Chains A and B, each alone.
Chain A
Amino acid sequence: MSLFQLLNGLTFAALLFVVASGFTLIFGLLRIVNLAHGALYLFGGYIGYSVAVKTGSFVLGGIGAMAAIAAIGFVLDQGLLRFVRGNELRQVLLTLGVAFFLNDLALVIWGGDSFTVPIPEMLRGGTRVFGTFYPIYRLFVLGMGIFVFIGLWVLLNHTRLGALIRAGVDDAEMVEASGVNIRRVFLFTFLFGSALAGLGGLMGGAFLSLYPSADAEILTFSLAVVIIGGRGSLVGVGIGSLLVGLLNTLGQVMFPELAYFVIFGPMAVLLAFRPLGLFGRAT
């Protein structure tokens, strides 16, 4: 694998990390498997695209995407999921219904054409990385991935909110019993996780482009990341993203038409030994 392909894998991994970390935060703390996460990614991308085109600002597009997706997350959590709390299966299937709804709605609003979010002037063009010419924007995505990782790590390990989230992952009832309003922490996590999907949509929309089945693709990759990394583990998502990102690139280079199989292999081997993923813990 050449350096160019390695970088492609790393930047894809960074995007996956941003999307999947939101997914695993919600999964880890709220025990909600949000299958609408892929649809939120796509919606975020479309909204970010529209805002960025209208205002001409990539940053505003990002803010718009995150805010809009957090708002959709709010409706999803408070308007729908509250009716099925405590029943995992019903929650999952409900979010799946929402995913179909959102996907079709996106088709109505933006149509079936594929869009590419305009990249800001600053990030256009390429640069030399160890002698290989490489697009700046993809390096920016890599940087964002690392930034989000560090941000999340600090949030989870060095703030009171992070401590509450971690405690909630381990034993939500106990946290509640000690006088904390865990519902508020739950809601925050849900909105934050959703916003990360929106951010991912904008970032991915600028180099993978946005099209009607992009949500299913990113959801598959996110699922693979979470299955490999384990529920609710930040490090797990990081390693899972790297594995899936690199393997996907390797697969596309070696067996372009069967790339999906290449992420399937390691997932299979891993599940045989650790059904809960690398960093997953039994509850």
Chain B
Amino acid sequence: MTQPVSKTSVLAGMTGRALVIAGLVVIVAACLPMVLSSYQVGLVTEVLIFGVLAMSIDILAGFAGRTSLGHGAIFGVSTYVVVYATGQAGLSPWAGFALGVLAATAVASVFALLAVRTSGVYFLLLTLALGMIVWGVCLRWTQVTGGENGMRADVRPAALMSHSAFYWAVLAGAIVVSFAMWRFVRSPFGLTLRGIRDSESRMRSLGYNVPLHLFIGFTVSGIFAGIAGGLYAMFNNFVSPSTVALAQSVEGVLMMIAGGVGTLFGAFVGAAAIIVLENIVSSYTERWLMVLGITFVLIMIFAPEGIIGKLRAITSRKVR
């Protein structure tokens, strides 16, 4: 962002080089189903979905300085609504998807109303507690949510039944959503959020309505988490309380941190790292949560700047 940008090579704020890289990544990603097995395509689909979730968390953590531990719940509410709407209520998948995102947005705005007055650890605690309440409701409200057994429904639209068709649809969705988030954090509104992250009191004295900005930022982030949740419903055709559980939020936050806080697209790297790790670990042992906990502790102690940041630090040390 600091390097001078010539007007001609700019498309929607992207420099020529970034455009080329983004284009290459998209082309490679689009070709993946031709070389990978259907199982691996499923994994990459999962990476994309969770990458979107991690990005939505990064909007708040990286650009507004507020780490949310409630986004797994927002994500999961969308999953629940999509599965319920298409399975129990018999709506079309598209209508279900729209309802799911809407519900996630509503939940996010309620979370936001309460959380915008807090910062730092209090924000973390509050979003955690709110997420747990959602989890508790999903677990106990058996008539609607199916309780611990969860719900199953064929959510995926008929056109997207094959692995690769669904993958391409998710890829297209992820590209659109990533672009939207990227524009969002670079908009004047996003810059205001960054100002709030760096100095809330200064932004307030400059006349910015800090709570309102945070409220909108949180709600918008919730929309994206909801989109990820809706896609996950189509991916899995199943939902249970573990989808809204704390572990979901924690995994999202871990992916975001592993990719690098404030890097936005790093979220996909983080998601890939965690999901690959999860699959490798799961093939050897059932103790994934234990490994997740240990990974979390190790990253907090040794690489809080994320995998990319750590690599960057190591390589720059070598160059010198």
A271 and B117 within 8 A (CB)? yes
B293 and A268 within 8 A (CB)? no
B301 and A83 within 8 A (CB)? yes
Stretch of A60-68, A87-95, A179-187, A189-197 that contacts chain B: A87-95
User: Which residues of chain B are near A276, meaning CB under 8 Å?
Assistant: 122
Chain A CB within 10 Å — which of B250, B296, B304 has the most? B296
A220 and B257 within 8 A (CB)? no
Interface membership of A261, Cβ < 8 A: yes
Pick the contact of B118 from A94, A257, A261, A271 — CB < 8 Å? A271
Interface membership of A155, Cβ < 8 A: no
Stretch of B51-59, B92-100, B136-144, B212-220 that contacts chain A: B136-144
B120 and A88 within 8 A (CB)? yes
In the bound assembly, the distance between CA atoms of A35 and B246 in angstroms comes to 11
B250 and A100 within 8 A (CB)? yes
User: Which residues of chain A are near B246, meaning CB under 8 Å?
Assistant: 216
1/0 contact string of A95-108 vs chain B (CB within 8 Å): 01111111111001
User: Which residues of chain B are near A261, meaning CB under 8 Å?
Assistant: 133, 137
Stretch of A135-143, A202-210, A221-229 that contacts chain B: A221-229
Interface membership of A272, Cβ < 8 A: yes
| Given known A97-B293, A97-B295, A258-B137, contact A223–B142 (CB-CB < 8 A) | no
Interface membership of A117, Cβ < 8 A: no
A93 and B135 within 8 A (CB)? no
| Given known A93-B296, A94-B296, A220-B132, contact A100–B247 (CB-CB < 8 A) | yes
Interface membership of A176, Cβ < 8 A: no
1/0 contact string of A60-81 vs chain B (CB within 8 Å): 0000000000000000000010
- Contacting A at CB under 8 A, from B291-313, are 292-297, 300-301, 304
Pick the contact of B257 from A88, A93, A267 — CB < 8 Å? A93
Chain B CB within 10 Å — which of A99, A101, A263 has the most? A101
User: Which residues of chain A are near B120, meaning CB under 8 Å?
Assistant: 88-89
Give the interface size bracket for B toward A: 35 or more
Stretch of B33-41, B74-82, B123-131, B174-182 that contacts chain A: B123-131
User: Which residues of chain A are near B125, meaning CB under 8 Å?
Assistant: 33, 223, 226-227
Interface membership of B5, Cβ < 8 A: no
Pick the contact of A216 from B135, B142, B300 — CB < 8 Å? B135
Nearest CB in chain A: distance from B208 CB, A: 19
Interface membership of B1, Cβ < 8 A: no
In the bound assembly, the distance between CA atoms of A67 and B84 in angstroms comes to 47
Pick the contact of B129 from A92, A223, A258 — CB < 8 Å? A223
A258 and B141 within 8 A (CB)? yes
B118 and A92 within 8 A (CB)? no
User: Which residues of chain B are near A272, meaning CB under 8 Å?
Assistant: 114, 117
Pick the contact of B294 from A87, A101, A258 — CB < 8 Å? A101
User: Which residues of chain A are near B247, meaning CB under 8 Å?
Assistant: 100
Interface membership of B234, Cβ < 8 A: no
In the bound assembly, the distance between CA atoms of A161 and B127 in angstroms comes to 34
Interface membership of B161, Cβ < 8 A: no
Pick the contact of A227 from B129, B287, B294 — CB < 8 Å? B129
B141 and A257 within 8 A (CB)? yes
A101 and B117 within 8 A (CB)? no
B289 and A260 within 8 A (CB)? no
In the bound assembly, the distance between CA atoms of A220 and B132 in angstroms comes to 6
Chain B CB within 10 Å — which of A260, A263, A268, A276 has the most? A260
User: Which residues of chain B are near A264, meaning CB under 8 Å?
Assistant: 130, 133
User: Which residues of chain B are near A89, meaning CB under 8 Å?
Assistant: 67, 120-121, 124
B114 and A104 within 8 A (CB)? no
Interface membership of B290, Cβ < 8 A: yes
27 contacts between A and B (CB under 8 A): A83-B301, A84-B300, A88-B120, A89-B120, A89-B124, A94-B296, A96-B250, A97-B295, A98-B297, A100-B247, A100-B289, A101-B297, A104-B287, A108-B287, A216-B132, A216-B245, A216-B246, A217-B136, A220-B132, A257-B137, A257-B141, A260-B137, A260-B140, A261-B137, A268-B113, A271-B126, A272-B117
Chain A residues at the B interface, C-beta cutoff of 8 Å? 31, 33, 35, 80, 83-84, 87-90, 92-94, 96-105, 108, 216-217, 219-220, 223-224, 226-227, 256-261, 263-264, 267-268, 271-272, 275-276
Shortest 3 CB-CB distances between A and B: which pairs?
A: A97-B296, A100-B293, A101-B293
Other than the given A96-B69, A100-B247, A226-B125, 4 more pairs (CB < 8 A) read A31-B121, A88-B120, A100-B293, A105-B290
Chain B residues at the A interface, C-beta cutoff of 8 Å? 67, 69, 113-114, 117-118, 120-122, 124-126, 128-130, 132-133, 135-137, 140-143, 245-247, 250, 253, 257, 287, 289-290, 292-297, 300-301, 304
